[in-house]
Amino acid sequence: MNMSITTRIGLALLICLLCLSLANCDRNRRSRRKNSKTPKAPVWKRNSKPRKGESSINALEGKSLTLVCPANGHPKPTISWSRDGRGVKSISNLKVKQQKFNLIFPSVRSRDAGNYTCLVANDLGSLNFTYVVDVTKVKMLKVIPPQNVTKSVGESATFICRVPNDPSAKIQWLFKKVSRDTNSMRGTTQDAVFLQTGANPEVLHIQNVTYNDEGKYTCLAGNSHDMRYENAWLKVVSATDRKDFMKTMPPLIVSTWRAPYEHDRRENGRHANESHSQSKEAYPALVSIWTIYIIVGSVSGGVLLIGLITIIVAVCCQKETSGTYKSTNV
C-alpha cells in the first residue's frame, strides 16, 4: 500500500516536470522567432486607401470622419499627422484625436477642410500619404406645411406641402386615421399608411371625401442630408352641419385678408391655383369678424376711460368765484 502511494507521488512529480519543460521550450521558440524576424521598412496594408491611392474625401458638416493610414513593418512603425504642412497638434482650433493609425474627427466643421498628410516611419524607411478633405455644408430643409382642411362628405380636399429651398427633395404623404370626434379630433388611432400622389408629389388630392378619410395627414420631406415632417388635419362634416354653420354667419363680412405666400405664387406659377384654394380653406373670413369686434371694443373702452377721468376731476376739484380750481379731499 505504501509503495503504491509513493509510486503515484513520483508519477505526479514527473508529469509536472515534463509540463514545465514543454512550456519553457515553447517560450524559447517564440523568443527566437521574434528575434529572428527580418527587419522591414513600412508598407501599406492590403486594401487600405493609401495603397489604392484613394485620396479624395468628401465629408458632411457635423458628421464624424476617420482618416486611416494602416501600415506594416518591423520594427513597428510610428505615425504622425499634419495639415497643410503644420502638425495637427499645433493647430489650436482643430478638434481631432489620434488612435493608432487613425485620425478621428468627432464632428467635421467647414474650416476643417484641407490636405491631411500621414507620415509612417521606422528605422528602415518611411511612407507618406495625403488626403484631400472637402467639407459639404448641409442645408437644412425649409418646409411650407400643409394647412388644416374642413370638408363636407362628397367634396374634394387638397393638401399642399412645399420645399422652396430644395426642389429636388423627396416628398411622401402619410395618413393616420383617427376615430371621429367632433370636439377635438382626438381618439383611437390606427397604423399610419403611405399614400400615392400624382405627378406632383407636393400636392395630395382626395376626391369624394368620407368620414373614413378624416384624420392626420403628414408630409415627409427629405434629401440625402436632412428630413422634415409637417402635419395637417382633415375634418369631415355632413352637408347639413355645414349649412347650419353658414346660417350662423353674419349677413355682412368685410374682409381685408390676404392669402399668405402671395409673393411665392407670383414666382411659382404652377402652384398659384393650388395655394389659392388651400389658403381660402386655411384662413376663413371669420378672422374679419374678430377684427371688427376688437376695433369696436377698443373704441368703447376709450370712451369709458374718458368718462371716468371726467367724473374724477368733477369730484376732486371745485371751481371758486375767482375762477380758479381748488382741490378737495375725497
Local confidence band at 62 (pLDDT 50, 70, 90 cut-offs): confident
Rounded to an integer, what distance in angstroms lies between the CA atom of residue 99 and that of residue 81? Answer: 11
Q: Which residue type, as a one-letter code, is found at position 133?
A: V
DSSP state of 249: S
Identify which of 100, 96, 98 has the alpha carbon closest to the alpha carbon of residue 59: 96
Local confidence band at 244 (pLDDT 50, 70, 90 cut-offs): low
Q: Same CATH topology for 41-136 and 149-247?
A: yes
Rounded to an integer, what distance in angstroms lies between the CA atom of residue 247 and that of residue 29? Answer: 102
Low-confidence winner among 65-79, 166-180, 254-268 (lowest mean pLDDT): 254-268
Buried residues in 253-264 as b, exposed as e (16+ CB within 10 A): eeeeeeeebeee
Where helices occur in 36-104 by DSSP H, the ranges are 49-52
Average pLDDT over residues 279-289: 46
Local confidence band at 70 (pLDDT 50, 70, 90 cut-offs): very high
- Does residue 134 surpass a pLDDT of 70? yes
Whether the model clears a pTM of 0.75, i.e. scores above it, the answer is no
For the chain, what percentages of helix, strand and coil (3-state, to nearest 5) are there?
A: 30, 30, 35
The helix or strand, by DSSP H or E, that contains position 244, with its residue range, turns out to be helix 239-247
Q: Determine the topology of domain 41-136 in CATH.
A: Immunoglobulin-like (2.60.40)
Rounded to an integer, what distance in angstroms lies between the CA atom of residue 157 and that of residue 27? Answer: 82
Average pLDDT over residues 81-90: 94
Q: Where are the domains of the chain?
A: 41-136, 149-247
Cβ atoms of 77 and 122 closer than 8 Å: yes
Sheet strands side by side (includes 227-237): 149-152, 227-237, 215-222, 170-177, 193-195
Cβ atoms of 179 and 187 closer than 8 Å: yes
By percentage, how much of the chain surpasses pLDDT 90? 46
* Residue 290 confidence (pLDDT): 60
* Residue 284 confidence (pLDDT): 45
Kindly tell me the sign of the dihedral angle through the C-alpha atoms of 43, 45, 51, 57: negative
Rounded to an integer, what distance in angstroms lies between the CA atom of residue 186 and that of residue 215? Answer: 9
Could you tell me which residues are beta bridge partners of residue 129?
A: 118
Q: The domain at 149-247 falls in which architecture?
A: Sandwich (2.60)
By percentage, how much of the chain surpasses pLDDT 70? 70
Taking only the tens place, the pLDDT of each residue in 136-185 is: 887 788 999 999 999 999 999 999 999 998 888 899 999 998 755 544 44
